[in-house]
């Protein structure tokens, strides 16, 4: 177990170092000048040259990389060109909406997907099974921005049940901020429920065909107990895997949904940072997201130990 953990942590460090390097190279390969963007359309080329020098963007690439990598390893992700604040501070400010949005949408996805997935597997071939599969296909196929726009127009603009966009103003308390996340969470919940539903159904179908399930039934065990206690418990590992991956994807930023609902989370930040060519923020976001992704995967693997005592590392 200890050696497994050490191997995984070393692997994590290697992945993060690779991401750090790739992030640095990619953002500089992309054309575009943050200085010219900041100065606006009437600024002269000379103005841009002077601002680039002030921002340290005129230094040799290797010097910039070594400075960046050295600082990043000490936990300093640099200073945002656009916000003129430490990247860690900028990222921390964006974590709250993204994490709560991920949690809320995952909860919605699980509430939709798990019971329907189990029921669809249990009633394989029935109209409910066919309907569930078709609906899941539809939910996965419809782009999230379209669902977002429709719900925004219907539930926010027409009915006034939810805020149309944003994350609350200066006087918004925690509940008010969460209220701003409901609509985007429903959108993401619908989209992600499709995948979880299909995995739940497939996993349950495998298990329900096992000999020990037949044995349990032949012993007269109630169906509810057979399905929820014996089958679901053993079907849990693939479901946990997909839930873990979904959560990691959500935390890494639901870019389109955050954009449509103007949620100031990590997804929105990274899009803005790319458009602004805010190199340190792009790099910092990629590093943090990669770290979160790897960490959530590790936690998911460790969760197997809790769910299934037979699992050994």
Partner 1 sequence: MKHASKATLRFAAPRLLAALVAGTALAGPAFADTVNVAIVGEADTFDPMMSTKDVVSIVTQHFLETLYTFDGSWAVAPLLAADMPEISDDGLTYTIALRDGVTFHDGSAMDSADVVASLERWLAVASRGKGVADKVEAVEATGPLTVEIRMKEAYAPLLSLLAFSNSAAVIYPQETIAETMTDIVGTGPYRIVEHVPDQYLQLARFEDYASRSEPSDGAAGARTQAPDEIRFLPVPDANTRVEGLLAGQYHFADGLPAESYDRIEGAEGVEPMLLRPFGWPVFAINHKDGLLTDLTIRKALQAALPMDDMLYAAFGDDNFFVVDGPMYPEGWAWRSEAGTELYNQNDQEKAADLLVEAGYDGTPLRILTSRQYEFHFKMAEVAKMALEAAGFTVEMNVVDWATLGQQRNDPALWDIYITHSPFLPEPALTDLYAPTSRLGWSEPEKDAILARFTTETDEETRRELFGQLQEKLYEDVGFIKIGGFNALMGHAAGLEGVTATPWPFFWNVTLD
User: Closest distance between partner 1 and the C-beta of residue 49, in Å?
Assistant: 9
Rule CB under 8 A: is residue 164 a binding residue for partner 1?
yes
Closer by beta carbon to partner 1, 268 or else 285: 268
Report if residue 234 touches partner 1, rule: CB under 8 A.
no
Assess 255 for contact with partner 1 (CB under 8 A): no
Indicate whether 86 belongs to the interface with partner 1 (CB under 8 A).
no
Number of residues that bind partner 1 (CB under 8 A): 59
Candidate list 20, 114, 147, 163; residue touching partner 1; CB under 8 A: 163
Interaction of residue 37 with partner 1, rule CB under 8 A: yes
Q: Is 277 in the site for partner 1 (CB under 8 A)?
A: yes
- Please give the Cα distance from 79 to 130 (Å, whole number): 53
For residues 11 and 166, which CB has a smaller minimum distance to partner 1 in the complex?
Answer: 166
Listing DSSP states for the chain in one string gives -HHHHHHHHHHHHHHHHHHHHHHHHHHHHS---HHHHHH-TT--HHHHHHHHHHHTTTS-HHHHHHHHHHHHHTT---B-TTT-SBHHHHHHHHHHHHHHHHHHHHHHHHHHHHHHHHHHHHTTTSHHHHHHHHHHHHHHHS-HHHHHHHHIIIIIIIS-SS-SSSS--TT--HHHHHHHHHHHHHHHHHHHHHHHHHHHHHHHHHHHTSHHHHHHHHTT--HHHIIIIIIHHHHHHHHHHHHHHHHHHHHT--HHHHHHTT--SHHHHHHHHHHHT-HHHHHHHHHHHHHHHHHHHHHHHHHHHHH-TT---
Q: Which of 30, 107, 137, 306 binds partner 1 (CB under 8 A)?
A: 30
60 binds partner 1 (CB under 8 A): no
| Residue 240 within binding range of partner 1, rule CB under 8 A | no
Which is nearer to partner 1, 64 or 241 (by Cβ)? 64
Stretch that binds partner 1, among 111-119, 158-166, 205-213, 226-234 (CB under 8 A): 158-166
| Residue 29 binds partner 1 (CB under 8 A) | no
Phi, psi (deg, nearest 5) at residue 171: -100, 10
What span, in angstroms and rounded, lies between the C-alpha atoms of 304 and 131? 31
Q: Which of 146, 161, 212, 313 binds partner 1 (CB under 8 A)?
A: 161
Is 169 among the residues that bind partner 1 (CB under 8 A)? yes
Contact flag: residue 58 with partner 1 (CB under 8 A): no
By CB under 8 A, tell whether 156 contacts partner 1.
yes
Does position 44 bind partner 1 by CB under 8 A?
Answer: yes
What does the binding site for partner 1 look like in residue numbers (CB under 8 A)? 30-34, 36-45, 47-48, 54, 82-85, 90, 93, 149, 152-153, 156-157, 160-173, 175-176, 178-179, 182, 259-262, 264, 268-269, 272, 275-277
């Amino acid at each position: 177990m200890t050696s497994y953990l050490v191997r995984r942590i070393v692997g994590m460090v290697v992945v993060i170092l690779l991401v750090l390097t790739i992030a640095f190279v990619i953002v500089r390969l992309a054309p575009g000048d943050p200085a010219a963007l900041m100065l606006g359309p009437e600024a002269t080329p000379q103005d841009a040259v002077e601002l680039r020098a002030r921002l340290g963007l005129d230094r040799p690439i290797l010097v910039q990389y070594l400075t960046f990598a050295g600082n990043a390893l000490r936990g300093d992700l640099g200073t945002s060109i656009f916000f003129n604040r430490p990247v860690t501070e900028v990222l921390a400010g964006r974590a709250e909406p993204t994490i709560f949005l991920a949690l809320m949408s995952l909860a919605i996805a699980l509430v939709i997907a798990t019971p329907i997935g189990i029921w669809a597997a249990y009633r394989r071939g029935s109209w409910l099974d066919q309907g569930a599969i078709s609906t899941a296909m539809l939910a996965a196929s419809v782009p999230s921005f379209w669902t977002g726009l429709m719900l925004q127009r219907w539930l926010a603009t027409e009915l006034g049940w939810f805020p149309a966009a944003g994350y609350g103003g200066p006087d918004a308390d925690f509940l008010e901020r969460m209220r701003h996340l409901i609509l985007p969470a429903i959108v993401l919940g619908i989209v992600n429920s499709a995948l979880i539903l299909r995995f739940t159904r497939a996993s349950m179908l495998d298990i329900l065909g096992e000999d020990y399930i037949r044995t349990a039934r032949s012993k007269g065990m109630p169906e509810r107990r057979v399905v929820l206690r014996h089958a679901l418990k053993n079907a849990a590992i693939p479901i946990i895997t997909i839930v873990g991956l979904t959560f990691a994807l959500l935390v890494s930023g639901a870019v389109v949904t955050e954009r449509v609902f103007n949620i100031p989370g990590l997804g929105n930040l990274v899009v803005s940072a790319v458009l602004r060519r805010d190199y340190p923020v792009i790099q910092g976001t990629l590093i943090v997201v990669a770290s979160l992704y790897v960490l959530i995967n590790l936690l998911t693997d460790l969760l197997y130990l809790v769910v299934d005592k037979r699992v050994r590392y």
